[in-house]
Amino acid sequence: MDTILLDKPLDNECYLHRQEQFESKVRSYPRKLPFAIQSAKGAWITDVEGNEYIDCLSGAGTLALGHNHPVVIESIKALLDSNLPMHTLDITTPLKDKFSEFMYKLLATNSDEYCLQFCGPTGADAVEAAIKLAKQVTGRSGVVSFSGGYHGMTHGALAVTGNLAPKQGIEGLMSSVQFLPYPNMYRCAFGLPFEQSIHAHMSYFENFLKDVESGVVKPAAVILEVIQGEGGVNPAPIEWLKHVRRVTKELGIMLIIDEVQTGFCRTGRWFAYQYADIDPDMIVMSKAIGGGLPLAVLGIKKQYDVWQAGNHSGTFRGNQLAMATGLATLNYLKDNNVADYVLEIGAWFMSQLKIRQQRYQKMGQVRGRGLMIGIEIINPSLPKQNDGSYPADSDVAAKIQQACFKHGLVIEKGGRGGTVLRLLPPLNITKDELQQVLQRLDMALEDNQ
């Protein structure tokens, strides 16, 4: 097949045709967001045709400060001018030392100290490392995960991910993985009202692990997200999180908290687990930690750091450029009290969305924390289900996402069947910009009344 020539300026359609020619069918975002990006700054994206969009995807939460923030760009320029090697495996440098000190102090508590493991540059590799280490520490092989959870696409991470679609046709995934229902304040797995639902989940979790006839051998680890992202922006109840920590600690089961999407002020705290005041045994971190560049770090309680040299390694765990952009981002978050800002602006934004929920019947629930927000789309013309909620509507959710795109707003979908609209704007987005997000969302919802 002849390549489409670049002898004249191309529009979005031409670039998408070229992408289809060059790339695998595995590509996903261009199918939902059919444009080619020319430039981006802050919360704004401009495509090759000059159309502007407000970005409420932020690289799936990677761009904490939006596109091309000055402190990030300056950190890149400074590193390139310094003759610091771009890649050092796990050999230290003055830059890595500063980054490590920041993270070491950030994770420390009154009772625990965490050491840092630099993994391959994705959250999935850090999940793999956490699972392997939990097995070494405990001498056991099983892992408990939760329905709706997402932990990555590598073999081990996929095994503990709830979504069945990417597992189709893949043999030999990690065995001894058990899934339990994750609390959902809108759709209880047990068909119960929310308050009863929390205690049902707590009781089920404890009995599942303690019952000698449950058929499940004590696992090495429990892995969970404090707020499920891909699973539909489901925040875990604080009471349930505390219970999970108490039971796992009592039984000597490692608790792995996946903060890949929730970490670094996204929810209004540095880490989402801090809302429950619990102490994970391991903390998985990626996305925003690299300031927009690939970086993944595993925080490990020091008493569980039983690795031998080289037990889990990766060529690109020494990405100096990502440490530069990451450190610049982390310092900005700290120096500008961004967590407090996210808490305040996120509460305002959520309140505005809930006002719209009264106006648009297809908005079943608005949920989340900080600037990690989900809107579940329902079909109110159908009978209610046993738990009192209306059935979700994936077709309308997809239409609303496309209408948002048409009106210049980039959002994602998630949850069962893609029924939840997900908003992950930059953490420094302004109130005026969020007003524009609301206006464009209003137009998309009006299009689908």
Domain boundary among 336, 366, 386: 336
**Same structural domain, 94 and 237:** yes
**Same structural domain, 38 and 144:** no
pLDDT (0 to 100) of residue 7: 60
Among candidates 132, 100, 61, which has minimal Cα distance to 282?
A: 132
In a domain, 280, yes or no: yes
Which of 93-97, 168-172, 407-411, 434-438 has the weakest average pLDDT?
168-172
**Same structural domain, 177 and 294:** yes
Domain boundary among 336, 358, 373: 336
Domain of 21? 12-61+338-447
pLDDT (0 to 100) of residue 1: 47
**414, 161 Cβ separation under 8 angstroms:** no
What is the spatial distance between Cα 184 and Cα 427, in angstroms, rounded to a whole number? 25
In a domain, 48, yes or no: yes
**Same structural domain, 98 and 209:** yes
Residue 429's domain is classified under what CATH number? 3.90.1150.10
**Same structural domain, 100 and 209:** yes
**Same structural domain, 165 and 16:** no
**Same structural domain, 306 and 407:** no
Domain boundary among 278, 306, 336: 336
**Same structural domain, 56 and 79:** no
Among candidates 420, 404, 12, 444, which has minimal Cα distance to 184?
A: 420
Among candidates 53, 60, 32, which has minimal Cα distance to 424?
A: 60
Please give the structure tokens belonging to residue 383: 């009978």
Q: What percent of the chain has pLDDT over 70?
A: 98
* Number of structural domains found in the chain: 2
For range 117-141, the mean pLDDT: 97
pLDDT digits (tens, 9 = 90+) for 275-295: 999 999 999 999 999 999 999
Q: Between the CA of residue 368 and those of 1, 121, 184, 233, 420, what are the distances in Å?
A: 47, 27, 12, 6, 11
In a domain, 141, yes or no: yes
**Same structural domain, 330 and 238:** yes
In a domain, 4, yes or no: no
In a domain, 1, yes or no: no
pLDDT digits (tens, 9 = 90+) for 374-390: 999 999 999 998 878 89
The yes-or-no verdict on residue 226 having pLDDT over 70 is: yes
**Same structural domain, 196 and 313:** yes
The yes-or-no verdict on residue 119 having pLDDT over 90 is: yes
**Same structural domain, 180 and 41:** no
